[in-house]
Amino acid sequence: MATAAAAAPVAEPAKRGGKRRLILLALPALLGAIAAGLWFSGVLPHMLGHDAKPAAEAAEAGKPAGEAKAEAPKAPPALDLPDMIANLNVPPGRRASFIKLHARIELARPEDLPAAQAALPRLQDLFQTYLREMRPEELRGSEGTWRLREELLARANIAIAPARATDVLFTEMLVQ
């Protein structure tokens, strides 16, 4: 019994510096996390001057470094088409289906706008004729919309030649 009693009070030596090691390891990790947060939020680059334009770029623009601003890109010239409503090609016995389309045609040059406005009746006729031959199944999904855009762009270039259309933008398209 004496041996068991003597073995019980013996304890392991106490660890020294446990809190100190934790602080020495956690402090750099915490500071690194704070620095990363400030960097990716944009605060630190702003404080360090990384977001300012260099003086050489500002001098090129003819203005002091603080006043240099990039010009906003100009919107390409565009021709708004009136709303078009057309019945789609459906097999006999099926319910009639319609499309309502409002589009805008972007032109290559501002000088092309008067020619495109003069060709507006021809443009509407080509679009209406094409839309009447479309089936509702052909307009489903993004692929159908993409095909419609490409076909209308080809017809727009035919109608407004020698002017050139660069894109057809749909501002409203409703298939019923």
Q: What is the value of pTM for the model shown?
A: 0.57
Q: Which two tokens stand for residue 130?
A: 């094409």
> What type of residue is 135?
R
Q: How do residues 1-51 score in pLDDT, each as one tens digit?
A: 555 555 555 555 555 667 888 888 888 888 888 888 888 888 877 777 776
Structural domain spans, the chain: 19-69, 78-175
Q: Is 165 left (phi over 0), alpha (psi -120 to 50) or beta?
A: beta
Q: How do residues 111-133 score in pLDDT, each as one tens digit?
A: 989 999 999 999 999 999 999 99
Q: How do residues 47-93 score in pLDDT, each as one tens digit?
A: 777 765 555 555 555 555 555 555 677 888 898 999 999 999 888 88
Q: What is the DSSP letter of 119?
A: T
- If one counts every other C-beta atom within 10 angstroms of the C-beta of residue 65, the result is 14
Burial class of 145 by CB neighbour count within 10 A (0 to 12, 13 to 18, 19+): middle
Q: Which residues contact 147 (CB under 8 A, 6 or more apart)?
A: 138
Please check whether residue 125 is in contact with residue 172, taking contact to mean a CB–CB distance below 8 angstroms.
Answer: no
CATH class (in words) of the domain with range 78-175: alpha beta
Q: Are strands 98-107 and 165-175 parallel, antiparallel or unpaired?
A: antiparallel
Residue given tokens 């894109």 in the structure block: 167
Closest CA to 109 of 79, 142, 151: 79
Cross-strand pairs, 169? 104
